[in-house]
Structure 1
């Protein structure tokens, strides 16, 4: 298996992890505030990383801290704006706008990486956008409010984070562990003030502790390490189409764990997202084989 094929497979595993943890997050959020979830999730992840990889983190921290601040700031902004926006908008609209970061990635890639959008990519983006809309909004009319604009800021932050991840991890090469830790730690600190205002609303259940531990290990530590290590080998725009599979993965696990049902329009939306991802990768792979 080639390095690119292996890296593509790892990003598919990453998206599967993101989707698998989505129903667990919903279960925790029925008892505690989103800021509490963010704070304890990333605090747990930071402490575990520090405990397991302390020698590596200590050795590489001086090389990654500047870039870690950049990526950590973007990740923090994404989670905070998403959580803040959710206070004013519906979960369906929040999911749609957050997932829209997939569509924004190629445009920021043009600005930052000087990449060029081909017709195939534009077509796939339009299909993915329609798929995200149908899967999250189920065909409902979109009426924006202040929460939607906050969530759009979250999508912008996540999109820039993905684009910069490619260039930064290419430059830093094998320092993905320290870079992951710095981002986790930064998000923990950024969420602390918001947690201080909302923790009194929490009504903890014993299961919440175990679920946050699961989310911290898999959706935070493992997922971010995979992204920091393998995204650069796939490329920014191809990675974006893989990440578009997150709503599909979340829907599958929500059906399996929470027994959620989806409308015909939502199922069509999921199918369009999968089609756009597969179509783009097949076309890009074909182009590379012809070179």
Structure 2
């Protein structure tokens, strides 16, 4: 991954955010990066009374915000001793602050804090917004059950150069196997691929595999051409037991500033960390 060597992670005191901080800290150590833990306090938007309660030590909303930030920093230092950990307490809505603070970062890492009532649809609005609008790659950590697993990257007919490069970088530093997936879709009884047919899809996959082996010469690189009517479903099936799935942010999104529909579906249903390439 390109310099500057700084990973930004948001922390709000939740279990999901703690998982994200630990994931970010481990990867900061592997990538020899600094880690910046950010807590965004909303209280100044709601009240001016941030001070301690008279006669009650350690009370008050300001103290609470500082304690949450310190807790996030402690999570990071515990997960990756020796890594330089910075911390920042900011006030206001988190999406804008995190987007600004991660402008020149190597990666922005977020927990998944959905509040919907549907099982499987658990990515929060802040994570979705930043996955679509941040200028750097965005990792959304909902589960981290297979840290020793492979890295899976989905490539579209363009070759998804940014996603492929990110996947190679992570595989190189973790020593994980890299699996490159390209999905063709059946249509009217024949194999359809926007790349121009099955043979073109195979050539695309071979070219991407050769590129990955050049970018990550010490990594075991495998490939799979999958036929499925749903690209996200095929990617999610391939990513079972994986340490990370990497996808591009572009796709079939309708509105500017929204993540593509395939990446959106992967974010909502993934059972492991998802890394969104922004180019």
TM-score of the alignment, normalized to the shorter chain, above 0.5: no
Larger radius of gyration: 2
User: Which structure shows the bigger proportion of residues in strand conformation?
Assistant: 2
TM-score by length of 2: 0.28
User: Which structure shows the bigger proportion of residues in helix conformation?
Assistant: 1
Q: Which has the higher contact order (CA 8 A, sep 6+)?
A: 1
TM-score by length of 1: 0.28
